[in-house]
Amino acid sequence: MMDKLFVFDVDQVLLNMYQPLVAAYEKYIGRETSHQETLDNIRRFEEDPRPYMDFAMQFQHSPAFGSLGPMPGAVQLVADLAAAGFELAIVTAASSDPEIFEKRRQNLLNVFGDVFMHHHHTSLSSKEGSLKTLCAGYRQSFFIDDKPSHVNEAIGAAGTAIWLENPFFDFSRDTLSPRAVVAASLDDVRKICGI
Ligand SMILES: [Mg+2]
């Protein structure tokens, strides 16, 4: 049996997507948006992504999507987990289109180095299957995501499912499984996995 695995969501956990995403959306609709509109769009996307898919695909094919910067604390956390003997993987809801897969892989490589053993793109389907496949055979496994619905998909699939608090998902925090562990920031993760 293998030892320890840590699986990351990408957007708003490892890479900071919101500013480039909002900027691209404003360009797409041809006007500026308020903070409230962004919150409403995220909630509506969660309920039904279909009206946003044309924009989402356009954004994922844009240069901005391939050059996202790290979230605060992410580079150090990834380095510390690797140094503590964790194997690292990503499961992202980004499209599995080969061009998008390669852009994301290159973006992660540029920011974090060649540290992720597995890259799974779920194209908005449930993350449960990918997590079950990845985590099977590890003595200890962890998954972190900023979206409560994805954290819930990891319950029973990963050993520990961590919700990285994100104020954009306050509207759905009540739906979070009581079995999830809550991290207020990436710094909390070290404590949660005992490093
Ligand atoms: Mg995310």
Domains of the chain by residue range? 2-16+69-192, 18-66
Separation of CA 14 and ligand 1 centre (Å): 8
Separation of CA 61 and ligand 1 centre (Å): 18
Evaluate if residue 62 carries a pLDDT over 90: yes
Mean pLDDT of the chain: 97
State the Cα–Cα distance between residues 195 and 189, nearest whole angstrom: 9
Separation of CA 12 and ligand 1 centre (Å): 5
Q: pTM to 2 decimals?
A: 0.97
Q: CB burial class (10 A; 0-12, 13-18, 19+) of residue 152? A: buried
Q: What is the mean pLDDT of residues 93-101?
A: 97
Residues 6+ apart with CB under 8 A from 125: none
CATH number for the segment(s) 2-16+69-192: 3.40.50.1000
Q: What is the pLDDT of residues 116-133, one digit of tens each?
A: 999 999 998 999 999 999
What is the band of 1 on the pLDDT scale with cuts at 50, 70, 90?
A: confident
- The pLDDT assigned to 91 comes to 98
Separation of CA 161 and ligand 1 centre (Å): 14
- The pLDDT assigned to 67 comes to 98
Separation of CA 81 and ligand 1 centre (Å): 19
Q: What is the pLDDT of residues 12-23, one digit of tens each?
A: 999 999 999 999
Contact 134/120 with Cβ under 8 angstroms? yes
Q: What is the mean pLDDT of residues 152-156?
A: 98
Separation of CA 132 and ligand 1 centre (Å): 19
Bridge partner residues of 4 (DSSP) = 140
What is the band of 76 on the pLDDT scale with cuts at 50, 70, 90?
A: very high
Separation of CA 165 and ligand 1 centre (Å): 10
Q: Could you tell me where the beta strands, DSSP code E, fall in the chain?
A: 2-8, 15-16, 69-70, 87-92, 116-121, 138-145, 160-164, 181-183
